[in-house]
């Protein structure tokens, strides 16, 4: 059985946060029609790919999946299990915003078989939350985390953002201290990204907001690694930290270069070396699924070299690259071609090389994208 992951995009939100560039909408007339189309798309891909596969993880992302009626979520998971061979041990995650959560929703999710809750906290500082235009405050975030644990969630993850405007080292460290003391198993800590087309990008261009430089960003990142590593959180990817045994299975599927099927607006899939992606606009997605059963707008078949490069990039950004694994791509030259560069990186304490295993140091993680871009 081939291990496969499923991602489902729920684009609906209460409002658009100033930094967000994910496809999300605040128009709710077509919510039920959208979920009808998700089920139709699930059935379409089940016919093509369910045989010989076992679904080891499901991830409901957005948008804000917790914004919609929990009954829609329950029915969607039921439909998924009808069409695919979903492992009894599958990790099933839903993203949530504390401002949309209550006791009933949490229990509905548990009843539906969701066993991992990802909570978009972003900060425990109310001034920072207000700047980001989040709909919750720190009190609500803490209440949601503790309520989820009390009601039965045994695997809780939170997202945090660093290098916000006016964020000091002490403010960021305070966020980490609060997080590490909570009943959670996983923390995703992201540097604030400035994406074109976002409200935040316009604010910066207009001179209303100033972002700290890359050196300060790197300092905050190293503080993150040092603090969380010293408080029983294992770093297993550039931005992800967990208690022992609580790595996100869904993320590991991506980073181990496993197949994944994605459903919904703007979703990207990767199966048998082919990548394809869906329409983003809701109306075009619905129209395409109603007509064809799917909403694919484009695709590409990767060359062996492209597959190798992606595998190297994903492995290095996570736990590291086992050079022996390169034989999967019929490649015998990658290490030789990059040996001099790797030696330089090792001498600069950016990577470690031991027993045919290459891994970033914390200094290497801080500039990993730059390093990876220079491999041959």
Within a 13 Å sphere around the CA of 117, how many CA atoms are in the beta-carbon half? Answer: 29
Tell me: do 123 and 202 sit in the same domain: yes
Q: Which residues of the chain have pLDDT under 70?
A: 18, 21, 23
Please indicate, yes or no, if residue 277 is contained in any of the structural domains.
no
Strand blocks (E) in the chain: 2-10, 53-62, 86-96, 116-122, 156-162, 186-191, 234-237, 240-242, 259-263, 268-271, 274-278, 296-301, 321-322, 351-354, 357-360
In this structure, the answer to whether residues 232 and 335 fall within a common structural domain is no
Whole-angstrom CA distances from 68 to 8, 12, 201, 241 are: 14, 7, 28, 29
CATH of the domain at 219: 3.20.20.70
pLDDT computed for residue 198 by the predictor: 76
Q: Is 209 in the same domain as 343? A: no
Terminal-to-terminal C-alpha distance of the chain? 34
Q: 9 and 268 in contact (C-beta within 8 Å)?
A: no
pLDDT recorded at residue 23: 67
User: How many domains is the chain built from?
Assistant: 2
Answer yes or no: do 61 and 159 share one domain.
yes
Same domain, 94 and 242: yes
- Say yes or no: 98 and 208 in one domain: yes
* Same domain? 132 vs 235: yes
Q: How far apart are CA 209 and CA 185, in angstroms?
A: 34
Q: Is 88 exposed, middle or buried (0-12, 13-18, 19+ CB in 10 A)?
A: exposed
Contact 61, 9 (CB under 8 A): yes
Q: What is the largest CA-CA distance in the chain?
A: 58
Last residue of a domain, one of 202, 234, 255: 255
Residue 141 domain flag: yes
Could you tell me if 208 and 355 lie in one domain? no
Helices (H), strands (E): how many in the chain? 14, 15
C-alpha distances in angstroms, 48 versus 137, 162, 275? 44, 42, 15
Segments forming the whole domain that contains residue 347: 321-372
Cα of 356 vs its chain's centroid, Å: 28
Is 316 domain-assigned? no
Asked if residue 366 belongs to a domain, the reply is yes
Co-location of 196 and 106 in the same domain: yes
Asked if residue 243 and residue 356 are part of one domain, the reply reads no
Whether 301 is covered by a domain: the verdict is no
Are the beta carbons of 329 and 307 closer than 8 angstroms?
yes
DSSP 8-state symbol, 369: H
> pTM for this one?
0.93
Q: Is residue 300 part of a domain?
A: no
Same-domain check for residues 338 and 198:
no
| Helices 169-180 and 214-229: angle between axes, nearest 10 degrees | 30
- pLDDT tens sequence across 12-51: 988 777 677 676 777 778 999 999 999 999 999 999 999 9
User: Domain boundary residue among 232, 255, 278?
Assistant: 255
Question: What is the DSSP-derived secondary structure letter of residue 192?
Answer: P
Closest CA to 83 of 18, 192, 8: 8
Using the structure block, give the residue that is written with the tokens 């503790």. 146
Domain boundary (255, 282, 300) is at 255
Contacts of 292 (CB under 8 A, 6+ apart): none
Q: Has residue 264 been placed in a domain? A: no
Q: Is residue 146 part of a domain?
A: yes
Contacts of residue 83, defined as CB under 8 A and 6 or more positions apart, other chains included, come to 42, 43, 46, 50
Q: Are 62 and 10 in contact (CB under 8 A)?
A: yes
Whether 86 and 169 map to the same domain: the answer is yes
């Amino acid at each position: 059985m081939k291990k496969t992951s499923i991602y489902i995009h729920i684009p609906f939100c209460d409002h658009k946060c100033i930094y967000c560039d994910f496809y999300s909408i605040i128009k709710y007339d077509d919510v039920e029609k959208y979920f009808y189309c998700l089920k139709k798309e699930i059935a379409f891909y089940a016919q093509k790919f369910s045989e010989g596969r076992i679904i080891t993880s499901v991830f409901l992302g957005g948008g804000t999946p917790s914004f919609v009626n929990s009954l829609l979520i329950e029915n969607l998971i039921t439909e998924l299990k009808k069409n695919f061979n979903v492992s009894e041990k599958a990790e099933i995650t839903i993203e949530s915003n504390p401002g949309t959560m209550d006791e009933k929703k949490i229990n509905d999710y548990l009843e539906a078989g969701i066993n991992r809750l990802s909570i978009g906290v972003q900060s425990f500082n109310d001034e920072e939350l207000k700047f980001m235009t989040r709909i919750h405050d720190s009190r609500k975030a803490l209440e949601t985390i503790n309520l989820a644990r009390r009601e039965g969630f045994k695997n809780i993850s939170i997202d945090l953002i660093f290098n916000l405007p006016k964020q000091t080292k002490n403010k960021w460290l305070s966020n980490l201290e609060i997080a590490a003391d909570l009943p959670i198993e996983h923390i995703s800590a992201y540097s604030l990204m400035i994406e074109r087309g976002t409200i935040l990008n316009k604010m910066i261009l207009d001179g209303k907001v100033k972002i700290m430089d890359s050196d300060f960003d790197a300092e905050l990142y190293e503080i993150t690694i040092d603090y969380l590593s010293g408080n029983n959180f294992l770093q297993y990817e550039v931005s992800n930290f967990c208690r022992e045994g609580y790595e996100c299975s869904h993320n590991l599927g991506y980073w181990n270069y496993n197949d994944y099927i994605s459903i919904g607006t703007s979703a990207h899939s990767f199966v048998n070396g082919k990548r394809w992606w869906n329409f983003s606009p809701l109306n075009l997605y619905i129209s395409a699924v109603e007509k064809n059963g799917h909403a694919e707008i484009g695709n590409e078949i990767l060359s062996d070299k492209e597959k190798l490069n992606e595998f190297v990039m994903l492995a290095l950004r996570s736990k590291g690259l086992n050079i022996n694994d390169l034989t999967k791509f019929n490649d015998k030259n990658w290490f030789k071609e990059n040996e001099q560069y790797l030696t330089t990186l090792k001498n600069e304490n950016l990577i470690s090389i031991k027993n045919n295993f290459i891994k970033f140091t914390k200094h290497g993680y801080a500039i990993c994208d730059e390093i990876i871009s220079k491999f041959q």
